[in-house]
């Protein structure tokens, strides 16, 4: 990037702004985006806590006293995450996004971390091109799924079901799950409120588990596993018991990989695709399994 462009912007630590100010800046940058995802102050504060966003190493871009963009950096032991990158509509395609992204990679290196993750909405060609230019590479495609409450009561599949409290549920997530998207890593669930789970065993010997977060009107952040049997059937069994338990709640889950063997079960239980993200990495992932 030409130094004239990078020097045109003042980069200010997001830690110097209040949550209300950051919310206002962020929402201004989301106008006109493919998937805007606006936030209120309480939602942003929860997001910062849940995903280990380091405001001191997150950045706001300014030009001649006018705020032009924002980018947040999640920081964990051996990896960082670029998230909520946004640019004011009138200044898009002027290099602000690149300045912010490059600077967050520099922030990561200053912390001694060489591995950075992000997700970009599929078909957001300008953003995808930018991240590729900066050295990010694709590692997978992620689904965001939703389900509205069924009009008729869900009849649970015949199975032995055991509900799990928070500690038992988090213990399940602690098992080795390989490298997970940031939102689905152990730390994200450990920071979340109202985490519960269930184990299920079917008459044919199939068994599995599901961990989830219950928000006010929504079930979200599903972490699930088939321990024995057909993942599609185990998913149907788990979801039938879950939605029988919470018949009036919506469900919204994100960053499910497109090759997940449980997906057919989700679709058969009424889940539909909202949109897709492309998962991208920068650098070599750490040797240990992220999210374990």
C-alpha to C-alpha distance for 135 and 138, rounded to whole angstroms: 10
Cα separation of 155 and 224, whole Å? Answer: 20
Burial class (CB in 10 A: 0-12, 13-18, 19+), 121: middle
Q: Using the structure block, give the residue that is written with the tokens 């599903």.
A: 222
3-114 and 145-279 share one fold: yes
Q: How confident is the model at residue 285 (pLDDT cuts 50, 70, 90)?
A: very high
Pick the CATH number of 145-279 from 3.40.630, 2.40.50, 1.10.540, 3.40.50: 3.40.630
* CA–CA dist 179, 185 (Å, integer): 8
- The span from the CA of 235 to the CA of 171, in Å, is 20
Phi (first) and psi of residue 55, to 5 degrees: -65, -30
Contact indicator for 67, 25 with CB cutoff of 8 Å: yes
pTM (two decimals): 0.93
The 10 Å Cβ neighbour count of residue 51 is 21
CATH class assigned to 3-114 = alpha beta
pLDDT in tens, 157-196: 999 999 999 999 999 897 678 889 999 999 999 999 999 9
Average pLDDT over residues 4-12: 75
Rounded-to-integer distance, Cα 214 and Cα 101, Å:
33
- Domain spans, the chain: 3-114, 145-279
Query: What is the residue-averaged pLDDT of the chain?
Result: 93
Encoded tokens for 232? 């599609």
């Amino acid at each position: 990037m030409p130094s004239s462009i990078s020097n045109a912007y003042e980069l200010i630590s997001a830690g110097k702004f209040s949550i209300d100010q950051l919310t206002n800046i962020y929402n201004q940058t989301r106008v006109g985006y493919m998937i805007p995802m606006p936030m209120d102050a309480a939602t942003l504060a929860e997001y910062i806590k849940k995903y280990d966003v380091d405001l001191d190493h997150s950045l706001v871009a300014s030009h001649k006293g006018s705020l032009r963009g924002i980018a947040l950096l999640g920081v964990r032991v051996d990896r960082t995450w670029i998230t909520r990158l946004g640019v004011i509509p009138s200044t898009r395609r002027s290099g602000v996004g690149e300045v912010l992204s490059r600077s967050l990679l520099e922030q990561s290196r200053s912390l001694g971390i060489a591995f950075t993750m992000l997700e970009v909405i599929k078909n957001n060609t300008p953003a995808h091109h930018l991240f590729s230019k900066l050295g990010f590479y694709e590692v997978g495609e992620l689904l965001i799924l939703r389900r509205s409450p069924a009009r008729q009561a869900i009849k649970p599949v015949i199975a032995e079901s055991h509900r799990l409290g928070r500690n038992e549920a988090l213990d399940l997530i602690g098992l080795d799950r390989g490298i997970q998207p940031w939102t689905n890593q152990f730390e994200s669930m450990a920071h979340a409120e109202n985490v519960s789970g269930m184990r299920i065993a079917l008459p044919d010997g199939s068994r599995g588990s599901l961990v989830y977060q219950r928000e006010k009107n929504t079930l979200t952040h599903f972490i699930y596993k088939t321990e024995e049997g057909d993942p599609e059937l185990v998913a149907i069994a788990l979801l039938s018991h879950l939605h029988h338990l919470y018949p009036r709640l919506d469900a919204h889950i994100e960053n499910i990989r497109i090759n997940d063997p449980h997906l057919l079960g989700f679709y058969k239980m009424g889940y539909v695709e909202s949109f897709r993200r492309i998962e991208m990495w920068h650098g070599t992932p750490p040797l240990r399994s992220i999210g374990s």
